[in-house]
Structure 1
Amino acid sequence: MAIRRWSWHPGIDAGDTKSWKLSFTILTLLSTISTAAQVIDHSIIMDTPPSYRREVYHFDQLSDEIGTAPVDIPTNNTVDASNNVGAVAGQTPPSSTSLTRQYGYHTLRHDSVVSSSSHAPSYASNGHDSTSRLLRNPGDRKLSVTSTSSSIWQSSETDVDDCIVEEHTGVPVSRNIMEKKGPDGAIEFVPLKVKGGNVVKGEADSEEAAADKSGGGGETTLKPTMGWISGANLVVGLMIGSGIFAVSGKVLGYVGSPGMALVIWLIGGLAAFAGTFSYIELGCMLPQSGGEQAYLDAQYQKPRALVAFLFCWCMILAIRPGSEAVDSNIFGQYILYPIYGSTEAIPRWPKTGLAVACVTSLTILNICSAKWAIRVHDWLTFVKLGTVIAISVTGLVVATGVTHVPIATSNFSAPFAGTSSSASGYALALFKIFWSYEGWNNLNYSLGELKDPVKNLPKAATVGVSLVTFFYLTANVSYLVVLPTSELLAAKELVAAVFFKKVMGSIVGGVICPLLVALSAYGAVAAMMFSVSRVIQAGSVAGVLPFSNLLKRLHPKTGTPVNALLLNWCVAMLYIVAPPPGAAYNFLVDVVGYPTWVFYGLSVIGLFSLRRTRPDLKRPFKVWPPFAIFFILIAVYLSIFPWIPVEEPYPYFLPPLLSVLLTLSGVPVWFSIVKNIPKTGMDFAMHH
């Protein structure tokens, strides 16, 4: 693997240096523009007269936690949701305790819609700056929440599906789950739906749910559409992306020997299992969409919503669009390989054009139909899995000696000869391997769309990760059986193409098989796009992203997060076009990998924190502590050692530095927007 130490003398020519400076400037400007947009959006909201706010729930009655015995709130009664009982017209409303017993809730809160003071309902303030009350409006048959707070935290009107259920002293949870106590006294969360005009546990009336529109003109609630097989396909589909077809030579170059390369791939599989089991516990305990953004907000509540917000910010600006750019780049390279025959011969702009076409076509598909997007992804998952299996089986057949293909015996005669001792080199190798395993947690982002997540999450995640780990290990053995070290290093991102061409010839191996690899990368982009659009939509419903009122809307006919998908497309285009040629693949993988593992580590550390602070939460699955500790140690290692000098064709510190800057650029946004949102309105931030 041709690697040279970067320096500011003519080790890199002036053109390359300018390209890297330009790329760094463009990516930094991206976060600056987004920050400014959010501040402007906030200032527009704050210009609205701050006399009070009115929060509307579009339903007539609430039912108790098992979905029966609906109870109507008496007309003109007001109930203080924080145990400070008030009333209108001298009537005595039910107490907070009776509301909890009758409805199964502790507190109901909601996005607000700014109203003029001429329409304000009259009630006496009890001296609290931010007092939430439940109010039954006569005439319009809508349940409202009013407040005397002078702070306006969001200008929007949404339906019942945007309300949340929150325990006063515990973990805030999203609108699509409800807290109840099981027979053993442990608190668990169950799906919360709208049915027959009531909020109930169970399935929703699709027609009624579709009829409730937000003030912006569209739904904001995603429906469960996936069983455990589709869930496992989603996991496999994202895990099998470009990595297994592209990084094996790079890993070998970092660690120095074939034997150590296999050991590192095994460590990657064990870490994926440890992370999977840790996230199964978190996902079963909090069965909601959002993944880390939900877990981090529950785990790190001070400063309020900061850690969860920074994850969401980084996911939208760096992790997912950068990953899509990497895989779409591989898509273009493998499409063009049959024509040009090597990485160096492939022109930049045809490859870039195919990458743009990849992301654009999948964006259109996801906008038109979530169901068809899932179906196409499921089909491509079988293509990806079949391609990896083909590599694994082919290598094993060659190893038996029954073919004319010579075996690379040098890789096994002294497997650990030349093993590297560079700690930072191993960190970079692990980034490449974990890039290949990335996706083991993808299902946690879409639990709101998984049927019966407590039952199906463990099954889907375990099956998906097990399949991928087994075939990754056998595929790497196959590479080493067929390709000598020198050929693996020279192949760069086209390892699979070189492998197939050597074994199957120039037609099948040089044309058909590379096209299958291109489809595999296409499917990985599809899976990432599906998940990140849900993260954007969830953060927008929480009201903490620029132009949240636009981004949270679902298409009125297709039910897809169209504006979130378009935002993701715009950011991904920057990552596709901005990086210079040559080392762009390595650079983007490292930029994406660094913040990913920082937040992974924080999530699993927080798992132990929740065990200590919330032992009452029901945990259908508990990860074995040594597994979680092993995962945390991996995350700590990957957070520290990328800062140690290593030979790269770009500044070794640039990927982690850019990752940190992109993440920290969200702090001013959090401070100006999220931190100033009244507590009654933002305890649930990031929890959709």
Structure 2
Amino acid sequence: MSFLETTPLLDPESVLRKSTDSSSISSIQPGDTLHRTIEDDVLPETTPLGRNITWSSAYIIIISRVIGSGIFATPGAIVTSVGSIGLSLTLWIAGALISWCGLAVGLEYGCMLPRSGGSKVYLEFTYRHPRFLASVLVSVHALVLGFTSSNCIVFGEYVLFALGKVPAEHPTEMRILAVGLMTVITVIHGCFLKTGIFLQNVLGWVKIGLVLFMTIASLGVVIAGYRPENGNLGFPTTWEGLWEGSVWNWGIISTALFKVFYSYSGLENVNNVLNEVKNPVRTLKSAAPTALVTACLLYFVVNVAYFLIVPLDEIKKGGEMVAALFFQRIFGPTTGNILLPLAVATSAAGNVMVVTFALSRLNQEIARQGVIPFGRILSSSKPFGAPLGGLIIHWIPSVIVICVPKQGIYSFILEVEGYPGQFFVLATSLGIIWLRKTRPDLKRPYKAFLPAVWFRVVLSLALLAAPFVPWASESWRDHLSRVSYALVGISVLLFGILYWFVLAVCLPWLGGYRLEEGADVLSDGTIITMLLRVPVEDVN
């Protein structure tokens, strides 16, 4: 990491307080070192990228992030693990209610601290001691596990399916398609900002239309009394049949919930880009709940559509290709195997676009914090007025994960992304409760329902403990293999703690200095934080 040489801290009005007024930014010259305090984080902040995101764009950023590969790929994996249609549908509804608890926390934080960065800003504001620990943990988690690989994989699988190939038999071609998608989207968002926003808006509406089309098609089949030549319709006709084969094991249900949560993840996606949203508080309060209701309704009806048309045993065998099986049974080999799978691939591409858009901004916020190497370069919006550095450090881990030759990589990605994220879910939930008691002075345009926040705390603890509860007659080797996703997630967080210890404790102790935060303005107007090495004798 490149730190400034020993530099005295100046104490004029905070640079971030000035940054709320565009005229004051012009008075700050590149290279100026100014004092920065944590209280500045409660203020809105302008950005060189400008406020280009309207309510409709914010809604699409959320809903297009939420509806991605999840609804087209995970229902098969979920019903395979839990065993029955009834339990599977119950988990989708429960996932929506639990997601509302999480959304309430995100809304209170986002309206209270209306700036880009999402959970990074919230945890830094809430957990100020040990100093820099929250910043480093969020940064390491975002940079190591903030990849966009699962939807790229689904894109590659469905394109191959449309070409008449079995994805499992052509893993190299699938990975080439996935990497190509990730690369093209990175170039679009990095070089053509407004074009990228326009494309992701269009793909978002296409995605919603596709889900509605699938639902209408399945209902039309049922009403017409159509029976496919290769079997009966799949939905059971009795209450007992609906629950037949249910697996009531918390370890299994918890991993299924991680997949459901993944399908609902992204409700706080616009929190990462609030600096670019017009009327951020008002937009956030309405766009996010609207997106949750939309996603819940669409998810439920499309699951019912799958179960109406495709028999349960075929869904379990098909795994991630459940949507392709659905299209094949309704529309036949030509349309079902080519056109509509391509539509699903397009939907997955739209999800990759909005995730890449939001996470690149989060990566830029991380770079601006000054806790990672090359922060000055990665923070810049040059040369195309977009966070190209943030896009590149998002592209690298995404491509690495895509290229990992692991069987069942899709499910593993969902689990390894979901497990460590629960630590931050727990931290932000407890943070809301803590701030209610310690900071009643803060303006809260939205207040979360506290029982819902406490429920989220309890559920997070249960999900974090679930992988380590052994199953009956399970060997220790099988147990370690089953919980590998949890071990990977914990290892990433432990690495973050080690990185923080070296950066903020060991090096300052060995060098006889302490770290202080200053602020600088890059030539493109981006405000960054610098970690300054101040000799201990100067501090005393």
Give the TM interval when normalised to the shorter protein. 0.7 to 0.9
* Counterparts of 2:529 and 2:190, CA distance in 1: 23
Q: Structure 1 residues 400, 630: closer, same or farther in 2, change over 3 A?
A: farther
In the alignment, which residue of structure 2 is the partner of 1:114? none
Specify which of 478, 484, 490 is matched with residue 660 of structure 1.
Answer: 490
In the alignment, which residue of structure 2 is the partner of 1:13? none
In the alignment, which residue of structure 1 is the partner of 2:293? 466
In the alignment, which residue of structure 1 is the partner of 2:154? 330
In the alignment, which residue of structure 2 is the partner of 1:368? 191
How much has 1:142 moved relative to structure 2?
A: 6.7
How much has 1:619 moved relative to structure 2?
A: 0.7
CA distances 1:645-673 after superposition (whole Å, capped 9, x unpaired): 46889811211111111122122322233
In the alignment, which residue of structure 2 is the partner of 1:289? 116
Q: Structure 1 residues 373, 565: closer, same or farther in 2, change over 3 A?
A: same
CA contact (8 A) 1:358 1:522 kept: yes
How much has 1:468 moved relative to structure 2?
A: 0.9
SS in 2 for 1:487: helix
Q: Structure 2: state its 5+ residue gaps.
A: 18-25, 509-513, 520-526, 531-540
Instruction: Write the letter of the residue equivalent to 1:678.
Output: L
* Counterparts of 1:673 and 1:535, CA distance in 2: 21
Identity %: 29
* Counterparts of 2:181 and 2:16, CA distance in 1: 41
After superposition, residues 178-189 of structure 1 pair within 5 angstroms as: 178=43
In the alignment, which residue of structure 2 is the partner of 1:396? 219
How much has 1:686 moved relative to structure 2?
A: 8.6
Instruction: Write the letter of the residue equivalent to 1:348.
Output: P
* Counterparts of 2:31 and 2:364, CA distance in 1: 14
CA distances 1:508-554 after superposition (whole Å, capped 9, x unpaired): 21111100100111111111111111111111111111211111111
In the alignment, which residue of structure 1 is the partner of 2:448? 623
In the alignment, which residue of structure 2 is the partner of 1:435? 262
Q: What TM-score, normalized by structure 2, do the two folds share?
A: 0.86
* Counterparts of 1:577 and 1:317, CA distance in 2: 15
How much has 1:415 moved relative to structure 2?
A: 0.9
Q: Structure 1 residues 507, 263: closer, same or farther in 2, change over 3 A?
A: same
In the alignment, which residue of structure 2 is the partner of 1:172? 39
How much has 1:246 moved relative to structure 2?
A: 0.5
Is 1:565 aligned to 2:395, yes or no?
no
Q: What TM-score, normalized by structure 1, do the two folds share?
A: 0.68
In the alignment, which residue of structure 2 is the partner of 1:503? 330
Instruction: Write the letter of the residue equivalent to 1:326.
Output: S
SS in 1 for 2:266: coil
Instruction: Write the letter of the residue equivalent to 2:236.
Output: S
Q: Structure 1 residues 432, 649: closer, same or farther in 2, change over 3 A?
A: farther
How much has 1:411 moved relative to structure 2?
A: 6.5
* Counterparts of 2:348 and 2:218, CA distance in 1: 21
Instruction: Write the letter of the residue equivalent to 1:392.
Output: T
Structure with max Cα Rg: 1
Q: Structure 1 residues 464, 489: closer, same or farther in 2, change over 3 A?
A: same
In the alignment, which residue of structure 1 is the partner of 2:23? none
* Counterparts of 1:335 and 1:424, CA distance in 2: 34
Instruction: Write the letter of the residue equivalent to 2:194.
Output: K
* Counterparts of 1:296 and 1:566, CA distance in 2: 25
Instruction: Write the letter of the residue equivalent to 1:395.
Output: S
Q: Structure 1 residues 245, 645: closer, same or farther in 2, change over 3 A?
A: farther
Q: Structure 1: state its 5+ residue gaps.
A: 1-40, 56-79, 82-104, 111-140, 145-156, 179-190, 194-219
CA distances 1:413-461 after superposition (whole Å, capped 9, x unpaired): 5111221121110011001111111111111111111111111101111
Instruction: Write the letter of the residue equivalent to 1:416.
Output: W
CA distances 1:36-78 after superposition (whole Å, capped 9, x unpaired): xxxxx24xx37x4x3x3477xxxxxxxxxxxxxxxxxxxxxxx
Instruction: Write the letter of the residue equivalent to 2:59.
Output: A
In the alignment, which residue of structure 2 is the partner of 1:513? 340
SS in 2 for 1:400: helix
Is 1:354 aligned to 2:180, yes or no?
no
How much has 1:612 moved relative to structure 2?
A: 0.8
CA contact (8 A) 1:482 1:499 kept: yes
Higher relative contact order (CA 8 A, sep 6+): 2
Superposed CA RMSD: 2.7
CA contact (8 A) 1:539 1:685 kept: no
Q: Structure 1 residues 610, 579: closer, same or farther in 2, change over 3 A?
A: farther
Instruction: Write the letter of the residue equivalent to 1:654.
Output: S
* Counterparts of 1:273 and 1:163, CA distance in 2: 40
How much has 1:164 moved relative to structure 2?
A: 7.4
In the alignment, which residue of structure 2 is the partner of 1:678? 515
CA contact (8 A) 2:35 2:517 kept: no
After superposition, residues 14-53 of structure 1 pair within 5 angstroms as: 41-42=1-2, 45=3, 48=5, 50=6, 52-53=7-8
* Counterparts of 1:649 and 1:242, CA distance in 2: 28
* Counterparts of 1:430 and 1:604, CA distance in 2: 19
CA contact (8 A) 2:267 2:288 kept: yes
Instruction: Write the letter of the residue equivalent to 1:642.
Output: P
CA contact (8 A) 2:420 2:489 kept: yes
SS in 2 for 1:598: helix
CA distances 1:360-408 after superposition (whole Å, capped 9, x unpaired): 0000001112211111110110121112112222222233244344422
* Counterparts of 1:511 and 1:498, CA distance in 2: 12
SS in 1 for 2:163: helix
Q: Structure 1 residues 409, 313: closer, same or farther in 2, change over 3 A?
A: closer
Greater mean deviation of Cα atoms: 372-381 or 298-307 = 298-307
CA contact (8 A) 1:294 1:686 kept: no
CA contact (8 A) 1:109 1:163 kept: no
In the alignment, which residue of structure 2 is the partner of 1:301? 128
How much has 1:495 moved relative to structure 2?
A: 0.5
Specify which of 428, 443, 447 is matched with residue 274 of structure 2.
Answer: 447
Instruction: Write the letter of the residue equivalent to 2:484.
Output: L
By percentage of residues, which structure has more helix?
A: 2
Q: Structure 1 residues 467, 276: closer, same or farther in 2, change over 3 A?
A: same
Q: Structure 1 residues 543, 453: closer, same or farther in 2, change over 3 A?
A: same
Specify which of 386, 398, 401 is matched with residue 209 of structure 2.
Answer: 386
